[in-house]
Structure 1
Amino acid sequence: MNSSVTDALTELPGYNVLVEHLGKKLHSENFLPTGILYLEIEDLVRFNEIFGYDTDKQILLNLSQNISNLFDDELFIRLGTYDFVIMKEGVEESSTLMVIAEKIINLLREPISFGDNLFYITAAIGISISSKEERDPLMLIKKAEHAMKESKREGINRISVSSDTVDFSYEHEFRLLHDLPYALENGEIYFAYQAQYSYEKSAFTGVEMLARWEHPELGNIPPRIFIPLAEKSGMITPLMTRTLIEAASMFRRLEEHNIIEFSIAVNLPFQVLMEESFLDTVRFLLDAYALKGKALTFEIMEDTIPDHLESFSARLNEAKSLGFSLAIDDYGTGHTSLTYLLHFPIDYLKIDRSFVHNIHLSRRNYLLFKSIIDMAKALELKVIAEGVETKEEDNVLRQFKEITVQGYLYSKPVKEDKLIDLIEQTIPTV
């Protein structure tokens, strides 16, 4: 049979079956919301290159069989080489499919044994739910695929739920630009905190603040969408001011819980730093909230650093004079990383997650990571490793006792109440 009807390897239904079944469900007189879970298996290209196509096929076959054993009533589809879809009728909320998604992720966390080696397969998952207003099967699949790609951008073994739109940057840009000022006023923009764990102190010693936008009609707007819009519209400075006010308030709330010697990191867009009024605002907040500058870290994303290094460096030095710490975020992803260390008064390097991912399997990753650590030691810089996802990665990183780590293994981004509960488990108190 045609592979679009039945997949030859797994004997699962194919794309045409999905579209036909989904179309019938969405246009039925007895309409029930239908959910799509879009799954992409990652890392199998590496298996193919190392062990050959036959091994790759066997792993795919085993995985598809194991995944299909996790549920009963759902339609399980193979869309492409590494892409699968689960269709479930009668889904009112994404949480129903989240349960299946979590089961799949837990299944993939079990290592695959091949010869003397253990290997790990990772995945990205996207979820979309139909509505009475939206009954286009292709659009529903596209939304789930879009959410899956959002998961891939966030890291490994992530699950994302589609918002009501597929492409904010084109179809809804004008609306989001209009709504952004109101979002700041009305509390739609809030902050999540991802904890950072110090090996040396065996404690959570800091957090990174992450802005989130929960739109009342469009749902969750990804930061990769609304941050560029804020920059484009001139709203990035008010957003940054709001971030600093919230950080200052957070320090006070931490002190109320006797949490001391704790740092908060915020992302600082270079165009905000270069504005004449920005540091005046910072000085005002330092006085108004009796904030200790050294407890706050400004993170500069490496790929946003401008070409005019001299004026940018002068501005960083001015900020540094107020007592703040400075970090280069996503270190190692740019083309002139070493140049920044010559010009900028940096305190921290945040090593990009690409150096951490599968560091236990890749000697090249390990040696590159170690070389950055050795350089940081020589320059008396502190190091934070981003994207620590697995115990195996963590075991390797613990060889570098002086570093701090950040990632889903230790903590997902959480709201304030959960953060305080989390850090009180380990943080030194008085």
Structure 2
Amino acid sequence: MTEPVQDQYRVLFEHSADAMLIIDGGRFIDCNEAALRMLGYAVRADLFATHPSQLSPPFQLDGASSYDKANEMIAIAMERGSHRFEWIHRKRDGTDFPVEVLLTPIPAGGRLLLHVVWRDITQRKQSEEQLRLAKYVTDSTSEGIIVTDMDLRIIEVNPAYCDLLGYDRDEVLGRNAGFAKSGRHDEVFYQRIWESLNQAGNWQGEIWDRKKNGEVFPIYLRLNTIFDATGRPCYYTGLFSDITHQKRTEEQLEELAFNDALTGLPNRALFHQRLKQELTRCQRHESKLALLFIDLDRFKHVNDSLGHSNGDTLLIEVGERIRRAVRSVDTVARMGGDEFTVILLDLNDEYTVTDVATKILAKVIHPVWIDRHEIIPHLSIGISLYPRDGESVDDLTRHADMAMYHAKSEGGDRFHFFQEEMNRESGRRLALENEMSVGLNSGQFVPYFQPVYELDSGLLVGMEALVRWQHPERGLIMPDEFIPLAEETGLIIRLGYSVLQQACRQVKQWVDEYSRELYLAVNLSARQFHSSDLIEQVRRILNESGFPPGCLTLEITESMMMGRIERTLNQLTQLRAAGLNLAIDDFGTGYSSLSYLQRFPVNTLKIDRSFIRDILTDRNSRAIIRAIISMARAMELDVIAEGVENTDQLAYLKELKCQKAQGYLFSRPLPADQFAQLLADGGEWHRPVGLPCR
């Protein structure tokens, strides 16, 4: 080699970016600056004093011995004239790093030297690892991934994309990305996607695609534009998520949110939504609609006697019958419980509504067979009209509800249109309810006491406590004016316990004052009797007042006892176990209870006043009274006749050996101070006290 060539070679050798070394017989004899920097040596002498084997870890990444593998690589280079391979080298400080090695044998002065070129490939290996990791993530993700060129030709997809659409990879590569369009979206939809991609570089949203088998399904798609180093767009990527399950769940949740779970009809929320929409349409087109509010009559008796499961079956059948009675454009909804509504659209006059309401009654009031029981549904329908009876959802609903209660008050199985008088009546009822609440808080409800006499001796043996409302402005209000509303609103429970508490305290005071035993009878309302805390509340009142349980009789009507027989029996048994006496009030007017009477732990039967009233004129009434007294005597039960108003009635009852009686012949119900005077006078009956009142 001539000197100029040698000089050029030396310049290239020294200034190469790659590390270059010369090995002679297993020793370094030359190297460039890049080799020193790469290996961490300051001067060549230090490197030359190091054996090449010291620049490698004991083993390579494949587990092979570095020494053995180095000899193998040198042998290959000698055989081929050069050899390129990857290697793990070790720096002077012990740090390992990857290099690409090129071994080239070169003859020099009769010897064979090795020319070694090392290129640090740390960054390349890191990039390869990142690419490998990215590919692993792409291939293992459950979301479909697609890459296209700027002409939307597919250049890469992952396995999830193929699984999603049902294609093999080779079937989609090279195809236009729009090949799987569902046909559900118009051009405007796709135009908006392109506008977003061009302006913002991305788009995301729900879209429908078509699988290879033709199935159309929903996906959530995220599109992004990929830019090169110069900022030019070069690829599009799409990320696909199958949202079939999510959409199905949303539909189910929407159905649960807007449809009644029992009947499948629209529920209260959807009813309000549709009525609001239809009112807007009616206002725009100046059309009319009607709202029907439907309530099943005596449905509670079905639940109580046959159970809630059979009650549900009846509701399903009634809802279906109502639906079949109207047009498909009309809306039938279940508001909850035993209440349904119907929205009738595009009405010409009231006669159309009358026809529909009549048809609903005719279709619904037919026997339903449930668990071998024949049940005939009964219903009341209230009707309000738009715009005559209101222009808002609340007004129309409230007025239809009021009309329904008016139909119910007339006996049910009929319909009634809303009238303004109902609105005024509703206002009066609301005012009365508020006044009752105030009255309960301020002690306006007080017990009046009607004495009960033993017929043989004429002695006063007890009394029945009856509630009166001492109104500060309206004076004394009788029970028939407020008890029905108290029952309806639930105030009857507070009222009942208040009367029981006051009566127990008052009678306990009389017992102590006059040193005589007196029994007290107090009526229980249906709500009280079926409440879960009845026993607890009665015990509390007895403990607070000191009134002996054996002197307290709770009166329960016959009809109340015939609802849920087993539950009734359990409640009565607990009351008797607490030491209380039990009486069946209005006996003889209920439901075939004679067959159950022997099961109920009662002490007393109170003959209904309707039989006493007709005792002198009606043979059937006399027969019923004789039967009741005879049966009670056989069962060792007390009998009390209610509503005795004249001496002829009294004489007949004494003839039949009736034990006790009460009524206006003896005394009207008295306030506490007047009843105290009756006790002070000895308590014997000689003449009527006070005048009968209506």
TM-score by length of 2: 0.36
Contact 1:199 1:398 in 2 (8 A): yes
**Alpha-carbon distance between aligned partners in 1 of 2:502 and 2:423, rounded to the nearest angstrom:** 30
Output one character per residue of 1:219-252: Cα deviation in whole Å (capped at 9) or x when no partner. 4433123223222223222212212211221122
Output one character per residue of 1:393-413: Cα deviation in whole Å (capped at 9) or x when no partner. 111111134510010000001
Q: Which residue matches 2:479? A: 223
Which of 569, 574, 581 pairs up with 1:313?
569
Contact 2:604 2:637 in 1 (8 A): yes
**Alpha-carbon distance between aligned partners in 2 of 1:340 and 1:172, rounded to the nearest angstrom:** 42
SS in 2 for 1:300: strand
Say whether 1:403 aligns with 2:665. no
Judged with a 3 Å threshold, the aligned counterparts in structure 2 of structure 1 residues 306 and 226 are, in CA distance, closer, same or farther, namely farther
Judged with a 3 Å threshold, the aligned counterparts in structure 2 of structure 1 residues 354 and 417 are, in CA distance, closer, same or farther, namely same
**Alpha-carbon distance between aligned partners in 2 of 1:192 and 1:167, rounded to the nearest angstrom:** 34
Deviation, structure 1 residue 191 = 1.4
SS in 2 for 1:336: coil
Q: Which residue matches 1:210? A: 466
Output one character per residue of 1:160-192: Cα deviation in whole Å (capped at 9) or x when no partner. xxxxxx999645110111121210122221111
| Aligned residues with identical type, % of pairs | 34
**Alpha-carbon distance between aligned partners in 2 of 1:424 and 1:384, rounded to the nearest angstrom:** 24
Contact 2:505 2:547 in 1 (8 A): no
One-letter code aligned to 1:398 = K
SS in 1 for 2:556: strand
Say whether 1:386 aligns with 2:386. no
Judged with a 3 Å threshold, the aligned counterparts in structure 2 of structure 1 residues 197 and 395 are, in CA distance, closer, same or farther, namely same
Deviation, structure 1 residue 388 = 0.5
One-letter code aligned to 1:417 = D
Does 261-270 or 245-254 show the bigger shift? 245-254
SS in 1 for 2:591: coil
Contact 1:259 1:424 in 2 (8 A): no
One-letter code aligned to 2:449 = Y
Say whether 1:200 aligns with 2:456. yes
One-letter code aligned to 1:370 = R
Output one character per residue of 1:338-391: Cα deviation in whole Å (capped at 9) or x when no partner. 134133211100001121124234443222211110001111110000110111
Contact 2:607 2:639 in 1 (8 A): yes
RMSD: 2.4
One-letter code aligned to 1:329 = D
Q: Which residue matches 1:290? A: 546
One-letter code aligned to 2:481 = I
Deviation, structure 1 residue 201 = 3.1
Which of 291, 300, 305 pairs up with 2:556?
300
Which of 575, 587, 599 pairs up with 1:331?
587
Contact 1:199 1:403 in 2 (8 A): yes
Q: Which structure has the bigger radius of gyration?
A: 2
The 5 Å alignment of 1:88-127 reads: none
Q: Which residue matches 2:285? A: none
Q: Which runs of 5+ in 2 are unaligned?
A: 1-421, 685-694
Contact 1:387 1:408 in 2 (8 A): yes
Q: Which residue matches 1:416? A: 672
Output one character per residue of 1:103-124: Cα deviation in whole Å (capped at 9) or x when no partner. xxxxxxxxxxxxxxxxxxxxxx
SS in 2 for 1:257: helix
Aligned length: 264
- Indicate the structure whose relative CO is greater, using CA pairs within 8 Å and at least 6 residues apart: 1
Judged with a 3 Å threshold, the aligned counterparts in structure 2 of structure 1 residues 232 and 365 are, in CA distance, closer, same or farther, namely closer
Contact 1:355 1:366 in 2 (8 A): yes
**Alpha-carbon distance between aligned partners in 2 of 1:167 and 1:318, rounded to the nearest angstrom:** 44
SS in 2 for 1:410: coil
**Alpha-carbon distance between aligned partners in 1 of 2:615 and 2:488, rounded to the nearest angstrom:** 37
Q: Which runs of 5+ in 1 are unaligned?
A: 1-165
Deviation, structure 1 residue 218 = 4.1
Judged with a 3 Å threshold, the aligned counterparts in structure 2 of structure 1 residues 255 and 207 are, in CA distance, closer, same or farther, namely same
